[in-house]
Amino acid sequence: MSSTLIVTTENKLNLAPKNEREEIYQNVATILKTIQGSVPLDRDFGVDGSYIDLPMPIAKGQWQAEIIDAIERDEPRVRVLSVVFKENSIDAMDGILSPVVTVEIITND
């Protein structure tokens, strides 16, 4: 069973997923929303926030690489297919990046 998920930082957290697919979706969303160093007993969990306050093109590239690394490290049941950023002029003027991550669930079938 192969399944593709699209996850953004705008997804609401569900602390009681109904199945493994929802659990994986939840885990990826949590990784995206967590800055490294903010989890007391797992300081390496999440994405490195060093991209914050960098110029937008540099921040996009650095955050994209961080997202891929963090998901591969913290959620081994998925493979990242793509990381793109939603583009709109208002967010760009405010310096807001909104990643849209597409992952494929890896099965052992």
pLDDT digits 0-9 by tens, 9-45: 666 777 788 888 888 888 888 898 899 999 999 999 9
Strand partners, 35: 47
pLDDT digits 0-9 by tens, 60-88: 899 899 999 999 999 999 999 999 888 77
Classify residue 57 as exposed, middle or buried by CB count within 10 Å of its CB (0-12, 13-18, 19+): exposed
Cβ–Cβ < 8 Å for 22, 33: no
Angle between helix axes 56-74 and 20-33 (nearest 10 degrees) is 140
Cβ–Cβ < 8 Å for 37, 70: no
Given this model, what pLDDT does residue 94 score?
Answer: 72
Q: Identify the structural domains of the chain with CATH numbers, from first to last.
A: 3-105 (3.10.450.40)
